[in-house]
Structure 1
Amino acid sequence: MKRILFSVHLVVAAAMLAGIGHTRAEDGVDSAKTAAFDKRIFAGPPRRKSYACFVRGYDANHLTQRPKQKVSAMKLLVTAENAREEKTTSHSFRLGIKYRHRTGNFDSSGFCGHVVTEDASNEIRFDCGVDCEGGGINVALSKDDKSTIIRLERIRTWNRNKPDQEAEDALVAGADDRLFRVDRAGAEECAELVTDRRELAAIRHK
């Protein structure tokens, strides 16, 4: 667990250096505020393992208005896992992407940490990053808690159906690919992002 927590702090630092918003990292964030944010994103206090799923398929009208948007569909699964013996919670994410002009499903994953924006709002968000300088995403909640607002500059992805050596790719922010609103859905809607059989069974029985 200590290795996981250390990875979270490294990820947050890397995401900040990558320029995903102007934020203050986990150590400077009020624990009561992080608990309140977790309660909002997971629709209740996180249990031993909790999931939050957000999905969006962009229709033809939306894409016509944003001709430079590369993404046609996106899924985000955020996980909280409590280590009772250490009284700590780790957070991770899985992201699924479909492109409008390319075939295949592209995935990414990594760890998340809480940050606070350094503007007047002092908003709590997740900064989530991919290992080995793979970029990441910044995740905020809409005011009604029904959607996440995903911001990115660059994130490494992998084609789900290709061997590892051929699979690596990246989504780089363009004019219409920097900000995504993705709507809350049942955890089973994100089941395709999970490869572990036990975890998949748990999600499908939510």
Structure 2
Amino acid sequence: MRRHFLMRVVLVEAALILMAGMASPARAAGSAPDEAFQRQVFGRVIGKDRIHACYRRAYDAPHLGSHPQQNVRTMTLLVTGSAEEGADPGYTLGLGVTFRKAGTHFETFGGCGAIGSSAAPAAKANVAHCSVDCDGGAIDVRLKGEKSVLVAIPDGARIWKAGSDSEDSDERKRFGADDKLFRLDRTALTDCLSLVGDEDEKAMLRRGQ
């Protein structure tokens, strides 16, 4: 179930933090690109507690009418940041999607590396490169102004019905030819509650954390 998959995401995040810390033991809050990314996404640098940001977009009928090969009707993105002392920060994402031909909610989760870290020197300073577990595809989150991000899914990503077992489902075929790049706008953290299974973390979102 989702709980098992989220546990794997947490383990991936922990591994990313540990690996990054081994690569640059002197770092605490992250590199300058990391801190710039955090300030724009979360409003401040990551501290000892997790921090979240939520972005969303619902495409209206005129937009979908002018983009017949776009199947995505709504998209919600939850970005979570965390850090441990002496290590680069780690990021995870949760993505919720609905499509124009079905009201079913689908979701996916992934882990992201540090921004422009020594472990990934070629990484751009304003982009988080993320991957879905079990070769589920790549998702990039790029900063776009003060209140928006661009979500790139160039080759689709493994998704599954919300709340179902991720290991038994792969619905990436639902992405259309024009479902490659999405601009999402910042919204209330409570709009991302459906992407969180842990009650303590839901409480953090309700408190605006």
TM-score interval for Structure 1 and Structure 2 normalised by the shorter chain: 0.7 to 0.9
Distance in 1 between residues matched to 2:11 and 2:71, nearest whole Å = 38
The one-letter code sitting in structure 1 at the alignment partner of 2:137 is G
Matching residue within 112, 128, 137 for 1:126: 128
User: Residue 97 of structure 2 aligns with which residue?
Assistant: 97
User: Residue 54 of structure 1 aligns with which residue?
Assistant: 55
Quick one: percent identity of the two aligned structures?
31
Does residue 200 of structure 2 align to residue 180 of structure 1? no
- How far has the Cα of 1:192 moved from its partner? 0.9
Moved over 6 A (4+): none
TM alignment of 1:190-205, pairs within 5 A: 190-205=192-207
Distance in 1 between residues matched to 2:114 and 2:43, nearest whole Å = 17
Distance in 2 between residues matched to 1:2 and 1:99, nearest whole Å = 30
Q: Where does structure 1 lack aligned partners over 5 or more consecutive residues?
A: 11-25
String of CA shifts for 1:59-99, please: whole Å, max 9, x gaps.
11111110110100000000001224x44422100000000
- How far has the Cα of 1:38 moved from its partner? 1.5
Secondary structure of the structure 2 residue equivalent to 1:75: strand
The 8 Å contact of residues 95 and 195 in structure 2, kept in 1 or not, is answered as yes
Q: Where does structure 2 lack aligned partners over 5 or more consecutive residues?
A: 1-9, 25-29
String of CA shifts for 1:84-136, please: whole Å, max 9, x gaps.
4x4442210000000001231100001112456x99xx552001111110002
Identify if the C-alpha distance between structure 1 residues 127 and 205 changes in structure 2 by more than 3 Å, giving closer, same or farther: same
Q: CA RMSD in A?
A: 3.0
User: Residue 23 of structure 1 aligns with which residue?
Assistant: none
Identify if the C-alpha distance between structure 1 residues 162 and 93 changes in structure 2 by more than 3 Å, giving closer, same or farther: closer
User: Residue 82 of structure 2 aligns with which residue?
Assistant: 81
TM-score between both structures, scaled by the size of structure 2:
0.77
The one-letter code sitting in structure 2 at the alignment partner of 1:46 is I
User: Residue 152 of structure 2 aligns with which residue?
Assistant: 151
- How far has the Cα of 1:44 moved from its partner? 1.7
- How far has the Cα of 1:175 moved from its partner? 3.2
Say which structure is richer in strand: 1
User: Residue 7 of structure 2 aligns with which residue?
Assistant: none
Distance in 1 between residues matched to 2:83 and 2:18, nearest whole Å = 17
TM-score between both structures, scaled by the size of structure 1:
0.78
Does residue 51 of structure 2 align to residue 35 of structure 1? no
Distance in 2 between residues matched to 1:195 and 1:131, nearest whole Å = 18
Identify if the C-alpha distance between structure 1 residues 8 and 108 changes in structure 2 by more than 3 Å, giving closer, same or farther: farther
Distance in 2 between residues matched to 1:32 and 1:188, nearest whole Å = 29
Distance in 2 between residues matched to 1:9 and 1:131, nearest whole Å = 18
